[in-house]
Structure 1
Amino acid sequence: MATIEIRRQHALTKDEAKKRAEDLARGMEDKLGIRWRWDGDLIRFDAPGGAAKGTTGLVRVEASAVQVEIDLPFLLKAMKGMVESKVNEKLEAVLSKA
Structure 2
Amino acid sequence: MSSIDIQHPHTLAPAKARKAVEEVAKKLAERFDVEYGWVGDTLNFSRSGVDGKIALQPNQLHVSAQLGFLLGALKGPIESEIRRVLEERFK
TM-score, length-scaled by structure 1: 0.89
In structure 2, what is the equivalent of residue 55 of structure 1?
50
Counterparts of residues 27-38 of structure 1 (less than 5 Å):
27-38=27-38
Give 5+ residue unaligned stretches, structure 1.
48-52
In structure 1, what is the equivalent of residue 14 of structure 2?
14
Distance 2:32 2:87 in 1: 20
Could you tell me how far 1:54 is from its partner in structure 2? 1.8
In structure 1, what is the equivalent of residue 73 of structure 2?
78
CA RMSD in angstroms, aligned pairs only: 0.8
Give the letter for the 1:5 counterpart. Answer: D
Number of residue-to-residue matches in the alignment: 91
Q: Is the 1:24–1:94 Cα contact (8 Å) retained in structure 2?
A: no
Considering fraction of residues, name the structure with more strand.
2
TM-score, length-scaled by structure 2: 0.96
Distance 2:88 2:66 in 1: 22
Identity %, equivalent residues: 30
Give the letter for the 2:51 counterpart. Answer: T
